[in-house]
Amino acid sequence: MNMLPSGVWKLLPRMNQTCPEVPTTEQAYSKQSNSTAMEFTEMFGASGYILQAKFEVGEFFSETMVTSSPGTVLQLQPYTDYTLSVMSVNSGGHTVKVLTDLPG
């Protein structure tokens, strides 16, 4: 893995390894104002999942690595709209799927 200047990790693909399939997001819900749980379909060949929450204007905000569903995105701000996404990860790289906007 290489660390990009923005603090985002970039997975470099390996030869003879393909990225896992795109996970299907089943639902997102919050019981606390500073976090949200995401349920998604686990993909064959994935070694983990990256959950992201972005400000509605598209600025990066939070990224959490989990090994299974459900996963929780932490350090969110109350009364803030986010767009959530989940990526499946393995040594071949990662995929991305945008969920929907999560109202604050």
Task: Report the domain count for the chain.
Answer: 1
Quick check: is 52 in a domain?
A: yes
| Burial class (CB within 10 angstroms; exposed 0-12, middle 13-18, buried 19+) of 30 | middle
102 bridge partner residues: 82
Quick check: is 57 in a domain?
A: yes
The pLDDT tens digits for 51-74 are 988 886 767 778 899 999 999 998
Quick check: is 70 in a domain?
A: yes
Cα gap 56→82, rounded to integer Å: 5
The pLDDT value given to residue 77: 86
Quick check: is 26 in a domain?
A: no
Quick check: is 7 in a domain?
A: no
Q: Domain of 79: which CATH number?
A: 2.60.40.10
Quick check: is 12 in a domain?
A: no
Cα gap 90→100, rounded to integer Å: 24
Domain span at residue 74? 46-104
Tell whether the model's pLDDT for residue 39 goes beyond 90.
Answer: yes
